[in-house]
Amino acid sequence: PDVWREEEENPEFIPDDSLFVEWKGKAMSEDLRIKTGRWNIAGKPIVFLIDFTPYFGQQNEIFARFWETYRLDSITGQWDYIEPALFGYAAAKTIESFTSFYQEHHNIIAQFHEWMTGTGVLYLEHNVPWIATAFTTHATVLGRSIAGNNRPLYGNMKEYNPGQIAREFNVTAKQSLEKLTAAEADVFTTVSGITSKECSHFLGKDVDIVTPNGFEDSFVPDESHFAEKRNTARQKLKAVAEAVLGYRLSDETVFIANSGRYEFRNKGLDIFIDALGRLSKNEKLKKECVAFIMMPAYHKGPRQDLMEILYNDSEGHEGDRYLTHYLHYPSTDPVIQRISANQLDNTQESQVKIIFAPSYLNGNDGIFNLSYYDLLIGFDLSAFPSYYEPWGYTPLESLMFSIPTITTSLSGFGLWVREYFKDPGNGIAVIERTDNNEDQVVSDIMEFMRMFINLSDDGIKKARLKAHEISRIAMWDTLVKYYFSAYEKALLKSSERREEPREFARFVEEPGLVVRKPHQLPVWKDIYVQSDVPQKLSALKDLANNLWWSWNSDAESIFRRMDPSLWEEIRHNPKILLEKIDYKRLLVLEDDDDFVRDLRKADRAFRDYMNRPDDDQTPSAAYFSMEFGIHPSLKIYSGGLGILAGDYLKEASDSNLKIIGVGFLYRYGYFRQKLGPKGEQLTIYEAEDFSNLPIRPVKDKDGNHLRVGVVWPGRTVMI
């Protein structure tokens, strides 16, 4: 997906506009927005970046067609379903366009990974029969949900009803897409034997072949630079640890790594911390060790005191002995709570220390300022005691860097090592783990850590050599054969379908100049039709265009009296009221002396309110909030906090204070909720008609709409 919106260039993408020039012209005529270039990795493969945002406005029609064709149940899907599903659809449209243009290629396979791209498989199967489709799942929606919610997954798997569990965890849409994609793809694969069991039960489809995840070691430094890179990383780990802890560490300190996505139980963080807690009480430990948990969490930037210590030789320390970055809610963070429960106090006397780095390690986090791989190379041992791990890249990455590692029998990679590497020595420990043997797992991990920390230099060297040797069984040149077998199956299954004739879409014309005449360019203009009111009632328009009326009972009663039934029907919106009210009713009100008198009274109060002199001594304030609850007709709030923010603005306005609220005017506002036929919660999004709101655009000095860039992860949204 083309989601990069930063000012600097995308470091992962090398643009190349010379690729497929003729086809891109055709694709543009089909409303496909595509960038061509190369992925900035070893081999520099060709890549298309697809802007799928144009389909946002068509989501209802797109999902309706998938329902009609496949019975894809998207109705409960939230944005974490809608966005990837639309990308999968856009990817399939791009593949369709490309293969229609370049028809000389007949054996075409489209490989899709994870349920998030499943709509691509469904679209191609129905609309582009000349393409064979392959679908690989790296987990299952229900398996991850069950495990992540502290339910036993493996021993009781057959007892779970997939439909019921999907509704319980509100993942019906994701489950529906995953199940349909597995059923419709020409070949269905997954990454490990343990996950294939999930697929059989939860998706009702056995995998055609297991395709384990391979790895390229192009990111591992060669022998001539390895020692230098490792030394740099170790020095950084030691410096950061000393800055966090507030005291010096021995050069013999053993550094232990844990990393991945922040899934507390699934990734075995509870087990990892408990094992360290038990290790800290072991009197047979000969060296001190520092464990780093490197998992992105809800943080608010690098600690300023650590930055000063690390980069300005300061000695100031704020007192926290665990965190490298500020957490928003440290007291309720599961990692911090578990550390406290295990009494890991990080004192100088303790042989076992633990540090939590809750930031992405992209080389610019403010503390380490090294990428993950550049830091990983400096560790001595890693541990990933996962409960739910369909494959397990993190232990494999460690082995690639000659770092011995710990994993479990519930990880796909751990089982792969057990089957294909019979003598792992101290290069890896595959700990037996079940649904309910946590205490034994903690003891086994603690014992392996203790043994490794106490190894002699020669023992550590042998363990590192063994770790690297084990990593060789998961290289892509060894494992790619499983994908080749899968693709053979896909081509065989789709062979008859792929022989069907298809429309030839490639038209190559002689270069020439085409002059487009002015009348060939349609010019579309917005036309606004506005109703009018009698002169004696003209004050109604001024009142309707300022939300002051919404907290002034006299002004509100004016609009209500105009047409009580219509007022309720339009949900108390005076702008719509003036558009919809019968003109004959306005003529009656014009002759109603009481109504005209009350209108003039409200109008005078409003003008006196607006014409109050400003206090030049009062400072101006900007109030930033995601919500402002001023009136239900302005759908930019969801609940109590929004109402509170709106009340602040109203009180500031009544007090004649110079305060400006800054927020977002959402096209779809906040959703309404209702219950579905099975009791499930449904969200209803209704598009906001801005012409019916008391708003006006902010313009620059040239009269153009002012545009402001708001930075989001991976993109900048222009507003």
The better pLDDT of the pair 622, 520 is held by 622
Task: Report the run of H or E that residue 293 belongs to, with start and end.
Answer: strand 289-294
Are 448 and 275 spatial neighbours (Cβ–Cβ below 8 Å)?
Answer: no
Give the residue ranges of DSSP H helices in 343-456.
372-376, 393-400, 412-420, 438-453
- Calculate the alpha carbon distances from 78 to 91, 444, 636, 666 in Å: 20, 41, 19, 17
Going by CATH, does the domain composed of 227-474 fall within 3.40.50.620?
no
pLDDT at res. 714: 52
How many angstroms separate the CA atoms of 488 and 483, rounded? 9
Asked if 259 and 294 count as a contact pair (C-beta separation under 8 A), the reply is yes
Q: What number is the average pLDDT over the span 268-294?
A: 96
**What are 30-78's pLDDT values in tens digits?**
999 999 999 999 899 999 999 998 898 899 999 999 999 999 999 999 9
What percent of the chain clears pLDDT 90, i.e. is strictly above it?
A: 77
Output the pLDDT for position 313: 85
Residue 527: the pLDDT is: 55
Instruction: Collapse the DSSP code of 658 into the 3-class scheme (helix H, G, I; strand E, B; otherwise coil) and give the result.
Output: coil
Q: Which residues pair with 14 in a beta bridge?
A: 38
Q: Give me 279's structure tokens.
A: 């290790």
Question: Do strands 33-39 and 13-15 pair parallel, antiparallel, or not at all (unpaired)?
Answer: antiparallel
Which pLDDT score is estimated for 691?
85
Return the higher-pLDDT residue of 314 and 425: 425
Give the residue from 607, 80, 139 showing the smallest Cα distance to 387: 139
Cβ neighbors of 7 (< 8 A, separation 6 or more) are 716
Q: What is the pLDDT of residues 497-535, one digit of tens each?
A: 767 665 544 444 444 444 444 545 555 655 555 567 899
Cα separation of 152 and 167, whole Å? 18
Burial of 681-708, coded b for 16+ CB within 10 Å and e otherwise, reads: eeeeeeebeeeebbeeeeeeeeeeeeee
Assess whether pLDDT exceeds 90 at residue 591. yes
The arithmetic mean of pLDDT across residues 2-29, rounded, is 89
Tell me whether residue 436 is exposed, middle or buried, using C-beta atoms within 10 angstroms of its C-beta: 0 to 12, 13 to 18, 19 or more: exposed
Is 52-214+480-498's fold the same as 227-474's? Answer: yes
Which is nearest to 204 in space by CA: 185, 169, 180, 171? 180
Per residue in 519-575, pLDDT tens?
Answer: 455 556 555 555 678 999 999 999 999 999 999 999 999 999 999 999 999 999 999
Give the CATH class of 52-214+480-498.
Answer: alpha beta
* Listed residue (359, 358, 398) closest to 376, CA to CA: 398
- Predicted confidence at residue 510, as pLDDT, reads 43
pLDDT of residue 121: 98
pLDDT digits (tens, 9 = 90+) for 163-172: 999 999 999 9
pLDDT value of residue 502: 58
pTM of the model: 0.72
- The reported pLDDT for the residue numbered 491 is 95
Rounded Cα distance, 709 and 252, in Å: 49
- The candidate with the shortest Cα–Cα distance to 111, out of 140, 132, 127, 87, is 132
Q: Summarize pLDDT for 450-477 with one digit per residue, the tens.
A: 999 999 999 999 999 999 999 999 999 9
Q: Tell me the per-residue pLDDT of 99-131, one tens digit each, with 9 for 90 and over.
A: 999 876 678 999 999 999 999 999 999 999 889
Q: Quote the pLDDT of residue 319.
A: 80
Mean of per-residue pLDDT scores for the chain: 91
Return the domain boundaries, the chain: 52-214+480-498, 227-474, 516-611, 616-719
- What is the Cα–Cα distance from 578 to 670, expressed in whole angstroms? 25
Whether the pLDDT of residue 582 is over 80: the answer is yes
Contact 387, 434 (CB under 8 A): no
In which region does residue 319 sit, left (phi positive, over 0), alpha (psi from -120 to 50) or beta (all else)? left
| Residue at 445: amino acid letter | I
Local confidence band at 197 (pLDDT 50, 70, 90 cut-offs): very high
Token duo for residue 338: 């578990």
Q: Compute the C-alpha angle 32/36/40, nearest 5°.
A: 140
Sign of CA dihedral 548, 550, 555, 560: positive
Average pLDDT over residues 684-700: 85
Q: Give the count of beta carbons closer than 10 Å to the beta carbon of residue 300.
A: 9
More confident residue, 42 or 253: 253
| pLDDT exceeds 90 at position 98 | yes
| b/e sequence 528-554, b meaning 16+ C-beta within 10 Å | eeeeebeeebebbeebbbebbbbbbee
First CA to last CA distance, the chain: 21
Residues 408 and 441: beta-carbon distance below 8 Å: yes
* 377, amino acid identity: I
CA 413 – CA 431 distance, rounded (Å)? 12
Q: Are 86 and 52 in contact (CB under 8 A)?
A: yes
What pLDDT band is residue 618 in, cutting at 50, 70 and 90? confident
| Predicted pLDDT of residue 715 | 60
Whole-angstrom distance, CA of residue 307 vs CA of residue 285: 32
Mean pLDDT confidence for 327-348: 96
Structure tokens at 170: 């509100």
8 Å CB contact between 388 and 266: yes
Rounded-to-integer distance, Cα 193 and Cα 190, Å: 8
Q: Which region holds residue 572: left if phi is over 0, alpha if psi is between -120 and 50, else beta?
A: left
